[in-house]
Amino acid sequence: MAQDILVVGELAEGALTPTSAELLGLATRLADGGKTNLVLLGSGATGQAAQAFAAGADRVLASDDAAYDQYRSDHWLAAVEATLDQASSAVVLIAQSMVGRDLGPRLAFRRGSAVATDCLRVEQTPEGLRATRSAYGGNAQATYSFNTSPAVVTVRAKSQDPIAPRAGASGETVALPNAGAARTEIVGREAAVSEGLQIQDAPIVVSGGRGLGAPEGFRVVEELAAAFGSDKAAVGSSRAACDLGWYPPSQQVGLTGKVVSPDLYVAVAISGASQHMAGCSGSKTIVAINRDREANIFKAARFGIVGDYKAVVPELIKAIKELL
């Protein structure tokens, strides 16, 4: 069934974020011949229209007003509402980002509709739209349907595939009004200090847990990540290891840490508690190394090695170095 979809895009340093392209891919599949609209706000928005058309947008509604550069609920909400008034859409897709977490529920409330957050799967069925997210710390999946419109869905990064770029694609560009006076003032902004590849962006995440026995255990985990390549792999940690002070809290994976969905997640000496799995169950492939064959992590792992990490990981590093 053809339907129009609205994607709320985001810019990073003036460029369309990879997650926005993923949402455009999802929107194109859901639109089924309907229009894919994209709203883009902030410096350089209009300049990204060509990239957006290549990624699947049919119409880009944009404002280059720098007042949109930093997310403010009142500015963005008004702009997205104005977009919906011009480009009525049955479904609104927003990334499960800092923007989406705030904007999704606000928008649904303002339009008298409903929101499903942090979804991993969104599909059109004969009975209507279905949005699925993980629940109970990754131990179950919850599927939502909507009986109000527009259906607002926030979608987890890397859970959707972008379309193959449509070279030379073109579409319609519509100028949105500048942001008006803000009701909020941003008094400061502090970037978290974290060097190198971020665990949320890395295609490979190698994480260590309390079973490493000591902070020194993380050196071998870092060596394993380095063997994959420092441009590909980042190091994560379970909360137990962070709480012990063995690794920085910025690297914690899980319910109260970061959510990662890499192509490959290697869990070294991690038991696989539900709160940890909530942060990594969206990984494409999980490999577990644990000396307890009954460890919960093996239930989620595609490949498992039962053994002492001190013996297993150095062998793994050797094998990877030979292969790569």
Ligand X SMILES: Cc1cc2nc3c(=O)[nH]c(=O)nc-3n(C[C@H](O)[C@H](O)[C@H](O)COP(=O)(O)OP(=O)(O)OC[C@H]3O[C@@H](n4cnc5c(N)ncnc54)[C@H](O)[C@@H]3O)c2cc1C
Please say whether the beta carbons of 182 and 242 come within 8 A: no
Decide whether 53 or 309 has the Cβ nearer to ligand X. 309
Alpha helices in the chain (DSSP H): 18-31, 49-54, 73-86, 98-110, 217-228, 239-243, 274-277, 297-300, 309-323
Burial 85-109 (b: 16+ CB within 10 A, else e): eebebbbbbbbbbebbebbbebbbe
Q: Which is nearer to ligand X, 100 or 257 (CB)?
A: 257
Dist CA 229 CA 281 (whole Å): 23
Query: Residue 39 or residue 289: which is nearer to ligand X going by CB?
Result: 289
The residues that bridge with 116 in the sheet, in sequence order, are: 153
Interface residues toward ligand X, by CB under 6 A: 209-211, 238-241, 252-257, 269-271, 273, 275-276, 279, 289-292, 295, 308-310
The enclosing H or E element of 172 equals: strand 172-175
Q: How far is the CB of 194 from ligand X (least distance, A)?
A: 17
CB of 39 to ligand X, least distance (A): 32
The minimum distance between CB 227 and ligand X, in angstroms, equals: 18
Task: Compute the least distance from the CB of residue 131 to ligand X, in Å.
Answer: 24
Distance CA 29, CA 36 (A): 10
Residue 227 or 268 with smaller CB distance to ligand X: 268
**Closest distance between ligand X and the C-beta of residue 118, in Å?**
14
Residue of 128, 127, 99 lying closest to 117 (CA atoms): 99
CA distances in angstroms from 309 to 60, 192, 218, 221, 232, listed in the order given: 51, 31, 11, 9, 22
Q: Which is nearer to ligand X, 96 or 238 (CB)?
A: 238
Nearer CB in complex with ligand X: 117/160: 117
d(CA 110, CA 322): 57
How far apart CA 108 and CA 116 sit, in angstroms, is: 10
Residue 207 Cβ vs ligand X, minimum distance, rounded to whole Å:
8
Cα separation, 80 vs 75, in Å, equals 9
Q: Are 46 and 184 in contact (CB under 8 A)?
A: no
Nearer to ligand X by Cβ, of 170 and 256: the residue is: 256
Q: Least separation, in Å, of the C-beta of 211 and ligand X?
A: 2
